[in-house]
Amino acid sequence: LGLVAVADVLKEYSTEAVRALQGMGIEVAMLTGDNKRTANAIAKQLGIERILAEVLPGEKVEEVKKLQKEGRIVGFVGDGINDAPALTQANVGIALGGGTDIAMEAGKIVLVKDDLRYVIGAIDLSRKTMRKIKENLAWAFAYNAAAIPIAFGALYPLIGFIVSPELAALLMAMSSVTVTLNSLTLKRIKLKLRGVKK
Same domain? For 36 and 129 the reply is: no
Its domain, for residue 12, covers 2-115
Same domain? For 97 and 146 the reply is: no
Same domain? For 85 and 40 the reply is: yes
Do residues 163 and 171 touch, judged by C-beta distance below 8 A? yes
Give yes or no for residue 149 having a pLDDT over 90: no
pTM of the model: 0.74
Q: Are strands 92-96 and 50-52 parallel, antiparallel or unpaired?
A: unpaired
Nearest to 176 by CA among 184, 164, 186, 166: 184
Judge whether 19 lies within some domain: yes
Same domain? For 66 and 101 the reply is: yes
Q: Per-residue pLDDT tens for 10-54? A: 777 888 889 999 988 999 999 988 889 888 988 998 899 999 999
CA distance 79 to 174: 45
Last residue of a domain, one of 62, 80, 115: 115
Last residue of a domain, one of 115, 144, 163: 115
Is 10 exposed, middle or buried, given 0-12, 13-18 or 19+ CB atoms closer than 10 A?
middle
Judge whether 58 lies within some domain: yes
Q: Per-residue pLDDT tens for 158-187? A: 888 787 888 888 888 888 898 999 998 888
Judge whether 182 lies within some domain: yes
Residue 121: per-residue pLDDT: 87
CA distance 91 to 75: 6
Confidence of residue 198 (pLDDT cuts 50, 70, 90): very low
To 5 degrees, how large is the angle CA 123–CA 124–CA 126? 65
Judge whether 195 lies within some domain: no
Residue 6: per-residue pLDDT: 53
Judge whether 194 lies within some domain: no
Judge whether 198 lies within some domain: no
Q: Domain containing 19 — which CATH number?
A: 3.40.50.1000
Judge whether 100 lies within some domain: yes
Residue 5: per-residue pLDDT: 54
Half-sphere exposure of 33 (CA within 13 A, CB side): 11
Same domain? For 6 and 31 the reply is: yes
Q: Per-residue pLDDT tens for 77-117? A: 988 888 889 999 999 999 887 767 777 788 888 888 888 88
Q: Name which residue leads in pLDDT, 196 or 73.
A: 73
Total domains, the chain = 2
Do residues 56 and 83 touch, judged by C-beta distance below 8 A? no
Same domain? For 10 and 103 the reply is: yes
Give yes or no for residue 8 having a pLDDT over 60: no
Last residue of a domain, one of 89, 115, 141: 115
